[in-house]
Amino acid sequence: MIRNFSFLFLFLYNLSYAFTADDDYAVSKIPEALLKDAHVVKRMEETRFEVLDPGKSRLYHKYALTVLDEKGDRYAVEVMGYDKLRAFKSMEGNLYDGNGKKIRSLKKNEIRDLSATDDNSLMDDNRVKVHSFFHRVYPYTIEYETELQFNFNMFFPAWSPVDGENMSVMQSGMTLVVPSDFGIRYKAFNYHDAPVKKTEKGKDVYRWELNNLEAIQLEYASPDWSDMMPVVYLGPVKFEFEKFRGDMSSWEGLGKFIYELNQGRDVLPADVKQTVHQLTDALSTEREKVLKLYDYLQQNTRYISVQLGIGGWQTFDAAYVAQRKYGDCKALTNFMFSLLKEAGIRSHYTLIKNGNGQPHFLQDFPSSQFNHIILCVPLKADTIWLECTSQTVAPGYLGGSNAGRPVLLINEQGGKLVKTPQYGIRENLQVRNAYGTLSETGELKVRINTRYTAVQQDYLHGMIHLLSKDKQLEYLKKNIDLPHYDVEKFEYTERKSAIPAIDEHLEISATNYASVTGKRVFIAPNIITRSSVKLKPDDKRKYPVVLHFEYHDIDTTIIEIPAGYRVEAMPAPVKVESKFGNYTSEAKVKEGKIIYYRSIEKFSGRFPPDDYNELVKFYDQLYKADRSRVVLVKKEE
């Protein structure tokens, strides 16, 4: 089998070589249509993924990119990740000028070998091979040819011919080679042809290819990349991972593999078992016990990444965490699972794809789409979700990066796909009350009290727990939307619950806040909650509008006007109702005070391209209304 495979590998290699030998990389050979909106053109690409046996595979990749200008330079760097499970085999490269003439080849000593470990990693065998020609005479072409060997078959690479916006593609192809009795699965987006399939010497060969794809520019609120560009996802039916075998034809099968991988790693030391009972035996409800043990976890452990071979999937056991007081997301979640198990409470080790927005997820294509582990604790009345890597987050709260997405619950029977809670417009609140005094010279002194809840408090939560008071003040002095101001006092109070809240108290002095012209003063009653989004109309919008984050902001502002002034002009009340949200604002004067009220509800959703200009209008109305001004005039003596 090995000898036949080598013949096929050499045959396909020669095909790739023939392609480049018969064609050079002169820019003049790029079709005019592929230059439009492009900073880089993919001239050719050949990717081959070959399964050698159930536990080993090889990835061969050759491609050439023509960089048209400096904005395309970011694509001209070759980065190959490798570790214990992915063995680096080779990297070769060439540099060509705009006429397709070869300038030079990559030298082996130019390839940098770097650690891919971050500051949160204790043990990590992730490394990268990196090379760049650092050429800056445009246009130019880079060509790379690389090879990796995989010591497992759990993951197959996806074929995504377009690497990013402003890249056009002349040719790209993907070849998958597997033993004839090796089951595979694939799912295509924006690629409507079936793969070309043939059998050679006991191997099934699948081929996908496309030509002449024009560059795109990402639009505001674009959909996921797979909604716009051709992508083919590939995966095995059965696989091996360091002597462990699994079946990925269903979520149940993948979950069973995870369960067996971690089975028996939930045994606590005797002293920790005793602590569990000391903390929980006197408590009357399961919820109280969960919260008490989660507090114990947060007070006695910390997060450190551990990524060594199969350790990227298999957890360290509970005794390891108990002894060392640290662990990665797998180990800390397993430790919390073990604490609850000792207290007689059932929970589920849960795989999730962490990230802002709503990460692309294929619910009908069971595969490894996860990058994080959390814990699900189903109680009789409700379910508590626990983020076990944080020492500060409120129990039951997952944050915006874990909310509203599919997750895989693991139990003895295997895996079950469910969804985490969604934080919507009722949870994501910002309620602000401001009381200020305006002087004749335009200076405003104001006290601002704001309550942020759910996802609206996520950033502040991180800031107050990670930054010193001096750094917090530095942030406030740079990021409040006022022209000239000083933060005289600030403080934060955190309220932990399943929907957490942070109360912010600010005292600000803003010089020249109001414009003084002769006997008139012009003042914006909306002090610091102004919409900043301005979009350009586009009658040629190609893709749907996708808005992920929804929230509700409410502002009440009272400003004392200086003695001796009266109102000359007031902005009219504004009311906007749209499929994208609702907005109201109103200002009035009562007893020498400007009283301003503002409310905005922003909706999430997916909208057709033709709705884009309505969104532009919606934002324009908000932008204008938020900057309306009250005109005061000095009374005649």
Mean pLDDT of 544-570: 96
Q: Which residue is listed with tokens 């996708």?
A: 546
The helix or strand, by DSSP H or E, that contains position 293, with its residue range, turns out to be helix 286-300
CATH class, range 2-245 = mainly beta
Q: Return the pLDDT at 357.
A: 82
Query: How many Å apart are CA 63 and CA 80, to the nearest integer?
Result: 14
Query: How many Å apart are CA 601 and CA 583, to the nearest integer?
Result: 6
Tell me the per-residue pLDDT of 559-578, one tens digit each, with 9 for 90 and over: 999 999 999 999 999 999 99
Report CA-CA distances (Å) from 633 to 249, 529, 569, 616. 75, 25, 9, 35
Mean pLDDT of 214-240: 94
Q: Return the pLDDT at 117.
A: 62
Q: How confident is the model at residue 83 (pLDDT cuts 50, 70, 90)?
A: confident
Handedness of CA 313, 315, 316, 321 (dihedral sign): positive
Q: Return the pLDDT at 8.
A: 36
Q: Return the minimum-mean-pLDDT range out of 11-25, 174-188, 472-486.
A: 11-25
The boundaries of every CATH 2.60.120.1130 domain in the chain are: 429-634
Rounded-to-5 percentages of helix, strand, coil across the chain: 20, 40, 35
Q: Return the minimum-mean-pLDDT range out of 15-24, 326-335, 525-534.
A: 15-24
- Helix, strand, or coil (residue 462): helix
Query: How many Å apart are CA 584 and CA 553, to the nearest integer?
Result: 11
Residue 27 is classified by DSSP as: G
**φ, ψ (nearest 5 deg) of residue 463:** -65, -45
Residue 37 has pLDDT above 70, yes or no: yes
Residue 22 has pLDDT above 50, yes or no: no
Q: Bridge-partner residues for 385, per DSSP?
A: 376
Q: Say how many Å lie between the first and final Cα of the chain, rounded.
A: 103
Question: Does residue 5 or residue 100 have the better pLDDT?
Answer: 100
Q: Return the minimum-mean-pLDDT range out of 9-23, 33-47, 266-280.
A: 9-23
With a pLDDT cut of 70, the percent of the chain lying above it is 94
The boundaries of every CATH 2.60.40.3140 domain in the chain are: 2-245
Q: How confident is the model at residue 240 (pLDDT cuts 50, 70, 90)?
A: confident
Q: How confident is the model at residue 548 (pLDDT cuts 50, 70, 90)?
A: very high
Tell me the per-residue pLDDT of 168-193, one tens digit each, with 9 for 90 and over: 999 999 999 999 999 999 999 999 99
Residues in Cβ contact with 478 at an 8 Å cutoff, skipping those fewer than 6 apart? none
Residue 16 is classified by DSSP as: H
Residue 23 has pLDDT above 60, yes or no: no
Q: How confident is the model at residue 6 (pLDDT cuts 50, 70, 90)?
A: very low
Phi-psi region of 272 (alpha: psi -120 to 50; beta: other; left: phi over 0): alpha
Tell me the per-residue pLDDT of 327-386, one tens digit each, with 9 for 90 and over: 999 999 999 999 999 999 999 999 999 998 888 899 999 998 999 999 999 999 899 999
Average pLDDT of the chain is 92
Q: Return the pLDDT at 635.
A: 86
Query: How many Å apart are CA 84 and CA 150, to the nearest integer?
Result: 9
**Cis ω on the peptide bond leading into residue 139 (within 30° of 0)?**
yes
Helices 270-280 and 329-342: crossing angle, nearest 10°? 60
Mean pLDDT of 587-594: 95
CATH code for 250-419?
Answer: 3.10.620.30
Residues in Cβ contact with 586 at an 8 Å cutoff, skipping those fewer than 6 apart? 573, 574, 596, 597
Query: How many Å apart are CA 370 and CA 333, to the nearest integer?
Result: 15
**φ, ψ (nearest 5 deg) of residue 15:** -60, -45
Strands 444-453, 501-510: pairing is: antiparallel
CB atoms within 10 A of CB 4: 12
Tell me the per-residue pLDDT of 254-268, one tens digit each, with 9 for 90 and over: 999 999 999 999 999
Q: Return the pLDDT at 19.
A: 44
Residue 110 in tokens: 């130019």
Q: How confident is the model at residue 305 (pLDDT cuts 50, 70, 90)?
A: confident
CB atoms within 10 A of CB 462: 14
Query: How many Å apart are CA 514 and CA 506, to the nearest integer?
Result: 19
Residue 620 has pLDDT above 90, yes or no: yes
Tell me the per-residue pLDDT of 156-169, one tens digit each, with 9 for 90 and over: 999 999 999 999 99
Query: How many Å apart are CA 456 and CA 552, to the nearest integer?
Result: 10
Q: Return the minimum-mean-pLDDT range out of 301-310, 350-359, 589-598.
A: 301-310
Q: How confident is the model at residue 2 (pLDDT cuts 50, 70, 90)?
A: very low
Q: What is the pTM of this model?
A: 0.90
- Biggest alpha carbon distance in the chain? 104
CB atoms within 10 A of CB 579: 11
Query: How many Å apart are CA 514 and CA 520, to the nearest integer?
Result: 10
Length of the chain: 637
Question: Does residue 303 or residue 10 have the better pLDDT?
Answer: 303
The CATH architecture one would assign to domain 429-634 is Sandwich (2.60)
Residue 525 in tokens: 């009653």
The helix or strand, by DSSP H or E, that contains position 376, with its residue range, turns out to be strand 372-378
Tell me the per-residue pLDDT of 401-458, one tens digit each, with 9 for 90 and over: 999 999 999 999 999 999 999 999 999 999 999 999 999 999 999 999 999 999 999 9
The boundaries of every CATH 3.10.620.30 domain in the chain are: 250-419
Residues in Cβ contact with 262 at an 8 Å cutoff, skipping those fewer than 6 apart? 314, 315, 330, 334, 349
Report CA-CA distances (Å) from 305 to 81, 299, 398, 511. 17, 18, 19, 47
Q: Return the pLDDT at 118.
A: 53
The helix or strand, by DSSP H or E, that contains position 253, with its residue range, turns out to be helix 251-262
Residue 63 has pLDDT above 50, yes or no: yes
Residues in Cβ contact with 181 at an 8 Å cutoff, skipping those fewer than 6 apart? none
CA atoms within 13 A on the CB side of 266: 20
